[in-house]
Structures are given as C-alpha cells and as structure tokens.
Amino acid sequence: MTVESIQYSLKDRVATIRIDDGKRNALSPGVIREIYRALDRAESDRASVIITGRESVFSAGFDLNVMKHGGMDAVRMLRMGYSLTARILAYPFPVIAACNGHALAMGVFMMLSADYVIGSRGDFKIAANEVSIGLAMPRVAAAMLHHRLNPAAYQRAVTLSDYFDVESALRAGFFDELVDPVDLMSRAETRAGEFGKLDANAHTASKRRIRRALIRRIRLGVPLDLLDAIWMGLRGVRPK
C-alpha cells in the first residue's frame, strides 16, 4: 500500500509502516490519516508493527504549513495527531519505533507511544520544541514525555525545549537502545520477531492495564488542547 507518504509492508506477521515524504516527514492531515489506516490494516493482519521514517529523519512533527494557515484543517490535524498516541499505546500487538534520525514535536510523541524505541547513531536531534516556537506544551504532549522520560530530562524537555543528541536521548529515556544506522531495521525486525512470540492476549491486557490512566488522560486532554489551539488562532498566535 502506498498513499501519499506512507508505505505498508507485511512479512512474517510484522507490518512495517514507513513514513517518507522525501523531506522532513511532516505529519499532515493526509499522512496522519494514512498512518491510522495502516495501523488498522496491521491489526487486521494480527501483526506486530514497526514504525519508521526515511534516511536521517523520523518525523519533524506536524505540518507547519497547515498550522500557519489555521482553520479547521489545522484543528483536524491536531485532533488526529494527538489521538494517534492513544491509538498506538493501545494497539493490541507489539509496536516498535525505529527512529532513523531527527525527531521533533509530534514526531517525538508518536515515537514515544511505541512499546520499544530503537534509535540510530548519528548527528541527530530529539526535541519537543514547542516552547522554543512560542507554544505552551500541550497536555497530550506533556503526558507522552512524562510516560517515558526520567524526571530531570522531562523538566528540561517540557520547559526548556532542550535538544537531546542521541546518547543523551538514550539516557533520558527517549530510546531503549541505540544501533548503527545500517543495523536499525534488522534490529527492529529481530525485536519484533522476539516480541511476536509473547502471548498476545497477555501482552494486550497488560499494556492496556498499566496505560489505562495515561490513555484516559490523553483522551481528556485532546479537546482541551484543541481549545487552546483555537484560542491562540483567534488571537493571531502562530508558530514562528
């Protein structure tokens, strides 16, 4: 399946969802919609999932062109994107994020929704940069950072828009492990195969049990974050 910037492939009950727009892998409404469809297809295939990007870029986050224009397209993009975190967190089979390089803002929050995150060594930056572009950290975004990061890194990520290199990102909790770029996908496939041997019912029940409060927090936070975005739009506030 290839629609816009999303490719779907299935092998040995492991579905790979690759984001590749040839640029920064911006999460536009169309791209986010196709990620949902790919997840639905993978679930129908009863497959573990690997979410990955293109060379040197996992995702730079929401499409800023859509954000700048505002209106309902921007609101829909935010709603689908924030809700995507809950969709991935509750996905009934193992999910691995294979981070090819830079990950920013919504790209980070999507990555942190996975069960296991593999980073790629290189001169890459990982950041939730909302504050640096003049936006208060959304509730959903803060919840995802809190879910994975150690306390000190969480404070720096949220309040200071700290940019993490890959080694500090590993220590902070963004990644579970780091590998060389040439080994990224083979390692992700190996881990997906290992995780796929788990009892599926026990895996699903366990992840949803320990994430119930987080998923509820996200679902309650989405409309509040949308109201904030609409209010900022009415006041003429736009990302810099």
Mean pLDDT of the chain: 94
- Count CB neighbours of 156 within 10 A: 18
Higher-confidence position of 25 and 238: 25
The predicted structure's pLDDT at residue 91: 98
pTM of the model: 0.94
Q: Which two tokens stand for residue 181?
A: 């770029």
Residue 177's DSSP bridge partners are 118
Q: Which two tokens stand for residue 177?
A: 């492990």
The predicted structure's pLDDT at residue 1: 41
Give the dihedral of Cα atoms 109, 99, 25, 125; nearest 10 deg: 80
Annotate 75-96 with b (16+ C-beta within 10 A) or e (fewer): bebbbbbbebbbbbbbbebbbb
d(C-alpha 221, C-alpha 139), whole Å: 6
Phi, psi dihedral angles at 128 (to 5 degrees):
-100, 95
Dump pLDDT digits (tens) for 176-208: 999 999 999 999 999 999 999 999 999 999 999
* Helix segments in the chain, DSSP class H: 29-44, 64-69, 71-89, 106-112, 139-148, 151-160, 166-172, 184-195, 200-234
Dump pLDDT digits (tens) for 87-128: 999 999 999 999 999 999 999 999 999 999 999 999 999 999
Residue ranges per domain, the chain? 2-183+191-195
Residue 174 sits at the vertex; the CA angle it makes with 208 and 110, to the nearest 5 degrees, is 55
Instruction: With CA atoms as reference, report the closest residue to 128 among 141, 111, 118.
Output: 141
Dump pLDDT digits (tens) for 147-169: 999 999 999 999 999 999 999 99
Burial class (CB within 10 angstroms; exposed 0-12, middle 13-18, buried 19+) of 36: middle
Query: Domain 2-183+191-195: which topology?
Result: 2-enoyl-CoA Hydratase; Chain A, domain 1 (3.90.226)
The predicted structure's pLDDT at residue 239: 45
Residue 99's DSSP bridge partners are 119
Higher-confidence position of 89 and 5: 89
C-alpha separations of 70 from 57, 66, 74, 78, 128 in Å? 25, 6, 5, 11, 21
pLDDT band for position 4 (cuts 50, 70, 90): low
